[in-house]
C-alpha cells in the first residue's frame, strides 16, 4: 500500500514507550479477631497502569481504572485463580475468587491442599477468564469508538511465581496484557489553509494490526497473522484531539501503513517508523502529529 500524502503533511513526534507504574498494594487482612489458621492462602493485590486515559463505567465487570491506567478492584468483583506446581506448570487447578475488603478470597484454598512444602505459581485474569477461554482464539473488537467497546478490549493479568507458604501473602499485581496506541493531532504552526476546526473534525483508522490470538493462563500472548483495521476511541477529556486503541502485543515492520488520517476531505497515512519493531504488552506509544497543507512546511 502506497502512503498518500497529497497536500497535507505531518510533523510527527514519536514519544518514548511509557512503561508501567504500579499502585500501592492492599494488605491482606487476617480473619476477624486477628487469628489465622496458618494455612489459608492469602493475597495482596495492585493494578499497574498505562499513561493516559483509560476509564470504564461498569465496576461490576471491570476494575475501576484511573486516568493513568492504575486502579482498584471493587467489593464483589470476581476472578478465577489458576494455581500450578512450579515443576508442573502445564497442569493448573482453578479456584473461583471474590474481592472483599481489599483482598481476593477463595473458599477452601489452603497450602495444605498442595502439600505444605509446595512451590506454586499463581495466575489470574480480570475480567475473569475460564480455562477454555485461555485455549480458544480471542478476537479483539476492531470498533473501539465507544468507551464500552474500548474498555471491553482491555484485559488485566497477574502472575506470582515460585511461592511457598513461608513467603506469606501472595501478591497478585495485575498488569495490562495489551498494548495501547495513542495518537494526538494538532494544528501545525504553519498550517496553510487548514484550520483548528479541520483538525477537530479529523478521523483516524489504525491499520494493519493483528486482531486474533490466544492468551494462556500464564499470560503468554500468541498472535495470528490475520490483519484488521481498528477504529479508535476519541478522547473527550481536556478538549484535545486524542485517539486511543487497545491492540495485541505483536511484531511490526517499519514503513507499513499504520495511522490513516482523514482531514479536510483528504487522506494521509503515517507509517510505522524505523526502529519500532514490536508493540509490547503493558506499554503505551504516543504519536504526536501536527497537520498542515502548507507546501513550504
Q: What is the DSSP string of 101-170?
A: TTEEE-TT-BSGGG-TT--EEEEEEES---HHHHHS-EE--SB--SHHHHHHH--EEEEEEEE-GGG-SE
pLDDT (0 to 100) of residue 89? 86
pLDDT (0 to 100) of residue 69? 63
**For the ranges 47-56, 203-212, 256-265, which has the lowest average pLDDT?**
47-56
In whole angstroms, what is the distance from residue 235 CA to residue 54 CA? 10
pTM exceeds cut of 0.75: yes
- Looking at per-residue confidence, does 104 or 65 come out higher? 104
Q: Which CATH number fits domain 9-16+179-292: 1.20.120.330, 3.40.190.10, 2.60.40.2630, 3.40.50.1220?
A: 2.60.40.2630
Fold identical between 9-16+179-292 and 21-145+154-176? yes
Report, as an integer, the average pLDDT of 256-268: 96
pLDDT tens per residue across span 288-297: 999 998 754 4
In whole angstroms, what is the distance from residue 120 CA to residue 122 CA? 7
Is residue 160's pLDDT more than 70?
Answer: yes
172 CB-side CA count, 13 A: 29
Q: Is 21-145+154-176 assigned to CATH 1.20.120?
A: no
pLDDT (0 to 100) of residue 21? 35
Q: Show the cell assigned to 247.
A: 491492540
pLDDT (0 to 100) of residue 152? 87
Is residue 287's pLDDT more than 70?
Answer: yes
Where exactly are the structural domains of the chain? 9-16+179-292, 21-145+154-176
Which class for 34: exposed (0-12), middle (13-18), buried (19 or more C-beta within 10 A)? Answer: exposed
Q: What is the DSSP string of 1-38?
A: -PPP-TT-EEEEEEPPPB--EEPPPBPPPPPTTS---S
**For the ranges 70-74, 84-88, 105-109, 193-197, which has the lowest average pLDDT?**
70-74
Number of helices and strands (H, E) in the chain? 3, 24
Q: Calculate what percentage of the chain has a pLDDT beyond 70.
A: 78
Is residue 127's pLDDT more than 80?
Answer: yes
pLDDT tens per residue across span 20-70: 333 333 433 333 333 345 589 999 888 887 643 333 333 223 566 655 566
In whole angstroms, what is the distance from residue 219 CA to residue 217 CA? 5
Q: What is the pLDDT of the chain when averaged over all its residues?
A: 84
Sign of the dihedral defined by the CA atoms of residues 110, 115, 120, 123, in that order = negative
Report, as an integer, the average pLDDT of 185-197: 95
Confidence bin at 17 (pLDDT 50/70/90) = very low
Confidence bin at 168 (pLDDT 50/70/90) = very high
Is residue 118's pLDDT more than 60?
Answer: yes
32: nearest Cα among 81, 98, 101: 101
Residue 250 β-bridge partners: 279
Confidence bin at 240 (pLDDT 50/70/90) = confident
Amino acid at each position: 500500500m502506497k502512503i498518500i500524502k497529497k497536500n497535507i503533511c505531518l510533523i510527527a513526534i514519536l514519544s518514548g514507550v511509557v512503561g508501567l507504574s504500579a499502585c500501592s498494594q492492599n494488605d491482606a487482612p487476617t480473619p476477624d479477631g486477628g487469628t489465622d489458621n496458618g494455612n489459608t492462602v492469602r493475597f495482596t493485590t495492585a493494578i499497574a497502569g498505562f499513561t493516559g486515559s483509560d476509564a470504564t463505567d461498569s465496576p461490576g465487570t471491570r476494575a475501576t481504572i484511573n486516568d493513568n491506567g492504575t486502579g482498584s478492584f471493587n467489593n464483589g468483583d470476581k476472578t478465577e485463580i489458576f494455581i500450578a506446581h512450579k515443576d508442573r506448570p502445564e497442569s493448573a487447578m482453578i479456584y473461583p475468587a471474590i474481592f472483599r475488603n481489599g483482598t481476593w478470597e477463595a473458599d477452601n484454598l489452603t497450602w495444605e491442599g498442595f502439600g505444605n512444602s509446595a512451590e506454586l505459581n499463581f495466575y489470574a485474569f480480570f475480567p475473569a477468564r475460564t480455562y477454555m477461554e485461555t485455549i480458544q482464539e480471542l478476537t479483539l473488537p476492531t470498533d473501539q469508538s465507544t468507551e464500552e467497546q474500548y474498555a471491553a478490549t482491555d484485559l488485566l493479568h497477574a502472575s506470582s511465581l515460585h511461592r511457598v507458604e513461608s513467603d506469606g501473602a501472595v501478591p497478585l499485581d495485575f498488569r495490562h496484557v495489551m498494548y495501547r496506541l495513542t495518537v494526538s493531532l494538532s494544528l501545525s504552526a504553519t498550517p496553510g489553509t487548514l484550520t483548528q476546526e479541520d483538525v477537530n473534525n479529523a478521523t483516524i483508522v489504525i491499520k494493519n494490526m493483528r486482531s486474533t490470538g490466544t492468551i494462556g493462563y500464564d499470560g503468554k500472548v500468541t498472535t495470528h497473522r490475520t490483519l484488521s483495521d481498528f477504529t479508535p476511541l476519541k478522547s473527550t477529556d481536556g478538549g484535545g484531539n486524542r485517539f486511543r486503541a487497545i491492540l495485541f502485543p505483536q511484531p511490526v515492520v517499519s514503513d507499513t501503513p499504520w495511522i490513516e488520517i482523514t482531514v479536510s476531505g483528504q487522506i494521509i497515512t503515517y507509517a510505522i517508523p524505523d526502529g519500532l519493531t514490536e508493540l509490547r504488552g503493558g506499554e503505551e506509544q504516543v504519536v504526536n502529529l501536527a497537520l498542515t497543507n502548507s507546501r513550504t512546511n
